[in-house]
Amino acid sequence: MKNNISMGMGGTLVLVIFVVLCLTVFATLSFTTAYSDLKLVNKTQEMTYDYYIIEGIAEKKLSEIFNIMTAAAHGDINDYYHRLSELLSRTEDVTVINSDKNNFNIYYEVHGDKNQKICVTLRISNDIANKPTYEILTWNLANIELPVYEEEYIDLWEGIE
């Protein structure tokens, strides 16, 4: 009589199925993470592109203001700030914040498409040679609209009294 000894394949089969299942789960998690990273990179790219667009517009506005400062400097130096105030009031989106005899502060904003804006504050004055100069006091990137979160009250069960 022959003894038929079979090899135990049940344990090996269960182990193979477990390994394949683990690899499938890890592959799915890796794919999900990679897809989330791709979406984040695309959104970051859009925000960065929008930032550089509004940065360029803010630089052009600064150049326009400097040209106005140069144009207002021609003539009597005592009347410079008055002429500058009149010329800047005709400029779109520029607001005079504070003006006195020696300083002149102005503010402007440049809005982007992706809920961001650049806020610029300048101090305009004259140097020792009575040439118009400006000092950038603020050049900030800010959100146009902050998200609104609804207050949510949750009634918690405090147990039996």
Q: Tens digits of per-residue pLDDT, 105-142?
A: 999 999 999 889 999 999 988 777 778 889 999 999 98
Report which of residues 79 and 106 the model is more confident about: 106
- pTM, full prediction: 0.71
Q: How far apart are CA 152 and CA 94, in angstroms?
A: 40
CB 47 within 8 A of CB 114: yes
**Does the pLDDT value for residue 159 go beyond 90?**
no
User: What does the mean pLDDT of the chain come to?
Assistant: 86
156: pLDDT confidence band, cut at 50, 70 and 90? confident
Q: Tell me the per-residue pLDDT of 41-62, one tens digit each, with 9 for 90 and over.
A: 999 999 999 999 999 999 999 9
Specify the pLDDT at position 114.
87
Specify the pLDDT at position 5.
66
Where exactly are the structural domains of the chain?
Answer: 38-143
How many other C-beta atoms are found inside a 10 Å radius of the C-beta of residue 71?
13
7: pLDDT confidence band, cut at 50, 70 and 90? low
Specify the pLDDT at position 161.
67
DSSP-derived pairing of the beta strands 104-111 and 116-126: antiparallel
Which residues, at least 6 apart from 78, have a Cβ–Cβ distance to it below 8 Å?
Answer: none
How many other C-beta atoms are found inside a 10 Å radius of the C-beta of residue 72?
20
